[in-house]
Each structure stands twice: as structure tokens, then as C-alpha cells.
Amino acid sequence: MTEHDDPSRDRLKHHFAQRVIHQARHVLEIWQRLQRSEWSSACMAELAEASLNLQRHAERFEQAEHVRLALAIGNCLKRIEANRGRLSSDLITELSLLIQRLSRTGLRQGDHFEQTFLPPLRKPIYLALQDRERAERLIQQLEFFGLSAQLCDSANAFRSAMSERHPAAIVLEVDFAGPGTGLTLAREAQQGLGQKLPIIFFCEKETDASARLAAVRAGGQEFFTGTLDASILLEKLEALTRTAHYEPYKVLVVDDSRAQAIHTEMLLNASGIVTRAITEPVRALAELAEFQPDLIILDMYMPDCQGPELAKVIRQHERYVSVPIIYLSAEDDLDKQLGAMSEAGDDFLTKPIKPRHLVATVRNRAARARSLKARMVRDSLTGLFNHTHTLQLLEDAASRARRDGKPLSFAMLDIDHFKRVNDTFGHPVGDRVIKSLALFLKQRLRKTDHIGRYGGEEFAVILPDTDLAAAHRVLEDIRRRFAEIRYPAQPIDLSCTFSCGIAELREDTDISNLSKLADEALYRAKHSGRNRIALHQD
């Protein structure tokens, strides 16, 4: 047996890989803290030290991907330091992309990797339930969705686990290890914590208001009674444990004064906001299409085009109706300010402005705009992109793929015999299956992949930088694993499958034709027996 075939060596590598994972988490935690505050030099230094520790651990334990990412993050931070701590738009974008890659360890379910597969960078979920069999079934279901769960079979086991490591969340039975003991354990677990742990309480019997109030005071964010349905529990856990996928806000500055434009750009960049400044208003629409900002800052008076005029032109385009426009001008006449705001503007800031005031206004406006846009472009049941926005994302992805000379695949998925599910088990169970597949796809695809609910039980997946063979490999793994999930139902538990069609973008393929080819492949998969994937082959 060769060294590479030695199972004990593989177990040892996996054990040491956990230390690398721990260091990677530390980098991510500092990064998330950085997004909630100003980008101070102390925080940047802490991030640099954490990335250096990650590099050292990764080199020691032979985790090549983490070595590459840690080196790249460290080099990026050195360039920021060499620039006297000033962040350029390019540096912020580069650092953000590296952190995003680290948050996923560069892996996707089904991809191949030269090292031992590393689990997702997520803390486990502790389950403390009286019924061990129920707990073990739940753990198995959670693992299908990429969530790591750990069973605590006694009060001492729970305390021991808490002393070793804090979990992402806790599922705790109120009467675990004795009447009301679950509440006591929850209060103990929360003592001394600055940020409380999310706890889901469970009780087999219906409880009164006082018990629920006690659960809330112990940190309970959800309370289940009667049965503990895996798919509903999974949905709540996903919402409670989802790691914020931070993307810096993007701002387009339009000002004919180069000095003023650069000054505004530097102020926002220094706070971690990706900023692009242009001095020619006629270039604004082209920059909007390419840059896709969260917010626009306009000078009110420019020689070739007045700010309110440009705002009207921008608002004529459907895609930019909801993008906030802030005027930044020396104009101090209130009537003129109000007149400008009535012409498609959202706010008016007067020069000179304090940097903190500008940054706070931009952040607040951009955050609200993102929240509003999410409601406009997402399906209410699943949280996935809706049909219209999915096609828009496909068009954008195709443009980038052609520009960069990279592959792009598009997949259409359809739940098999879904009408039978609704007719036999009812629409609530059907909705549960739809939400389950949506969550399953989100868990097992990359952040750079786009998932949409095309309509009813049909889904669409956009896979950038992915050829037909790679897309088939990834979705085949998802198809097989999704079929293993069991949904509690009467008279028997339910399992579901899906069929899938995949097409790859070619030079002579337009967007409408690409979706048509994927749909035709899906049709073949359906009529070849279902629960399979069909590829469009040239």
C-alpha cells in the first residue's frame, strides 16, 4: 500500500485540516467585523496577522488552496499598507473576491481537488433532544444539505461541547435531561457572550405563554411543539446560521471637477466602498451598464449636462429606476435643492461635507436599495431570483463569458410528478418540496452560480466559468443526493426527484436560444424516464 493509500494518513490530514479551517474562520470573522465599522488601521493589521497565521498553518498541514488564498490576501494587504493605508477601488474589489473564495474554500460539491476535501467553513449545530433516534434522523437530514450537526446525549455532553467550541446554533428540547433543564442549559450557554447564540426550542406538548417567555429570555428565536419536521427545522437553521456574504457597496460618482471626483472617490474607498469616478456625464450610461452600482452621486452643475437632466435620462431605463441618486453640490438654495430632488433625485448633500456624514449617507441609502431590490427580483416562496431577473442575469453572464473567453452553462430543472405530490399530499407539502430543492441548490452550488425559480416546480441555474461536462458532474451529484431526502407525510414518507437539461453557450448562441436548448434537453430527460440529466450536444 502506498503512502497515498494509507487511510490513517488521510484521517490525520483531515484532522489537521480542521486547524486550517479554524484559522480561515478567524480571517472571515475579522472581515465581517470590518464591514460593520470604519476600516481602521488596527482592524487591517489584525486581518493581516490572521492571514499570516492562516498561511503558516496551511503550509504546515499541506493545504495548498488555503496557502494560495492566504498569500494573495497578505499581498493585497501589503499593497494597501504601501499605499499609506489608502484603499483603491481595485484593491477593495480584489480583497473582497479573495475573501469570498476563502469563505467557500474554492470548492463546490462535486468538484475535484488535489487535497483532502475540506468541509464548509461553518460551525456545527448542537442537537440536544430526549429521543436519540429522532436526533440521529435529523442529523442525517441536515447533512444532506451541507449542515454539520453534533448530537449531545446528556447535559454533561452538552456542557462539554460548549466548553470546547461555540456552535452556529442550538436545537434544544425544553425538558432535555429533566423538566425545564433545557432552559437552564440555554441560560448557562449564553452567559458572558457578547453576541447571543441562536437557539431553537422544542417541546412535544403544547406550552403556555410563560414557558415561551422563559424560552425567549434564554435566547430562543424559534419554538416548535408536537413534531420536529426536518425540512421546516432546516429552513429556520439556514436563516439563523447563514453567513453574511458581504459584497462591498458600489458607487458611481459623476462630477466634471476631476479634483472633486477623486476626493469623493478616495473618501468612499477609504471606508471600503468600491467607487468609480467619471468626469464626462455622457459616459454615465455605459458605466452604469458595466459597473452596476448600488448608488449614484451626481454633481448638480456640469457644463455639458446638468445633474437633474442626467438623472432623468438614467430613470428612463427600467434597470436603473430603483438605483438611489444623491446630488452632491455647493448649491445651498433650499428651493433649488428641492427642485433638483424632484427631478429623479433621492437626497441632496451640500459641499463641503464631513467625510463621516457622506459615508453614513451612502451606506444607509445603498443598504436600503439592496434590500428593496432583493424584494423586487426574488421569488417570495423560495428566495431565489424570479423568472425575469434570472434571464437578465443570464444575459449579463453571457456577455462576461464572451468578453473573457470563458465557458458558461445553463440548466433547467423540473421536479418529477409534482402534480401527483400536490394531489396526494396537499399544496403545503408541495411548497415544502419546492423550498427544500431551492435550499439544496443554494447549499451545493457556488456563490458565483445564479439560481432562479423559473415558475411552478421549474428551476434555472446559471453556471459561469463551467463547461458542459463540469456542469453535468455537479448537477448529477445534486440529483442523486436530493433523491435520498425523505419528507415526513401521511400515509408514508415522501421522496422526490428532478429531471434536468443542460446547454452550453456557443459563439453562435443567443440568450433566448440557450434557454430553449436547455429546455429541449429537459424535455428529453422527462420523456426518457425522469430522474435524470440530458445534455444538449452540438
For residue 392, how many other CB atoms are within 10 A of its CB?
A: 17
Residue 404: what pLDDT?
87
pLDDT-based confidence at 84, cuts 50/70/90?
Answer: low
Residue 498: what pLDDT?
95
Residue 473: what pLDDT?
93
User: Is a pLDDT exceeding 60 seen at residue 13?
Assistant: no
Query: The cell 436563516 sits on which residue?
Result: 239
Residue 111: what pLDDT?
35
Residue 455: what pLDDT?
86
User: Is a pLDDT exceeding 70 seen at residue 437?
Assistant: yes
Residue 426: what pLDDT?
87
Report residue 213: phi and psi, to 5°.
Answer: -65, -40
User: Is a pLDDT exceeding 60 seen at residue 2?
Assistant: no
- Cβ–Cβ < 8 Å for 20, 30: no
User: Is a pLDDT exceeding 60 seen at residue 249?
Assistant: yes
Who's near 154: CB < 8 A, 6+ residues apart? 177
Residue 476: what pLDDT?
94
The 10s digit of each residue's pLDDT in 417-432 is: 999 998 888 888 888 8
Mean pLDDT for 184-208 is: 85
Per this entry, what is the length of the chain? 538
pLDDT-based confidence at 245, cuts 50/70/90?
Answer: very low
CA atoms within 13 A on the CB side of 317: 13
Q: What's this model's pTM, rounded to 2 decimal places?
A: 0.59
User: Is a pLDDT exceeding 80 seen at residue 194?
Assistant: no
- The three state secondary structure string of 328-386 is EECCCCHHHHHHHHHCCCCEEEECCCCHHHHHHHHHHHHHHHHHHHHHHHECCCCCCEC
- Name the β-bridge partners of 253: 277, 297
- Whether a cis peptide bond, with omega within 30° of 0, leads into 491 is yes
Q: CA–CA distance from 86 to each of 58, 192, 265, 266, 268 (Å)?
A: 29, 37, 11, 8, 10
Which run of H or of E encompasses 325?
A: strand 325-329
pLDDT-based confidence at 1, cuts 50/70/90?
Answer: very low
The 10s digit of each residue's pLDDT in 381-418 is: 888 899 988 998 998 899 889 888 999 999 999 999 99
Residue 156: what pLDDT?
93
Closest CA to 54 of 79, 22, 78, 86: 22
Residue 15: what pLDDT?
55
Residue 108: what pLDDT?
38
Residue 104: what pLDDT?
62
Taking the C-alpha atoms of residue 394 and residue 351, their distance in angstroms, rounded to an integer, is: 41
pLDDT-based confidence at 538, cuts 50/70/90?
Answer: low
pLDDT-based confidence at 16, cuts 50/70/90?
Answer: low
Structure-block grid coordinates of residue 118: 475540506
Taking the C-alpha atoms of residue 121 and residue 102, their distance in angstroms, rounded to an integer, is: 9
- Cβ–Cβ < 8 Å for 467, 405: no
Residue 3: what pLDDT?
43
The 10s digit of each residue's pLDDT in 131-163 is: 888 888 888 777 766 677 889 989 999 999 998
pLDDT-based confidence at 114, cuts 50/70/90?
Answer: very low
Residue 86: what pLDDT?
63
Residue 243: what pLDDT?
47
- Give the lowest-confidence range in 5-14, 47-56, 77-86, 242-251: 5-14
Q: CA–CA distance from 47 to each of 74, 243, 248, 286 (Å)?
A: 9, 18, 17, 36
Mean pLDDT for 58-81 is: 86
The 10s digit of each residue's pLDDT in 497-517 is: 999 999 999 888 888 889 999
Residue 112: what pLDDT?
34
pLDDT-based confidence at 332, cuts 50/70/90?
Answer: confident
Residue of 11 and 295 predicted with greater confidence: 295
Residue 37: what pLDDT?
61
Residue 14: what pLDDT?
54
Residue 462: what pLDDT?
95
Mean pLDDT for 52-70 is: 86
Residue 11: what pLDDT?
55
pLDDT-based confidence at 99, cuts 50/70/90?
Answer: confident
User: Is a pLDDT exceeding 50 seen at residue 269?
Assistant: yes
Residue of 332 and 131 predicted with greater confidence: 131
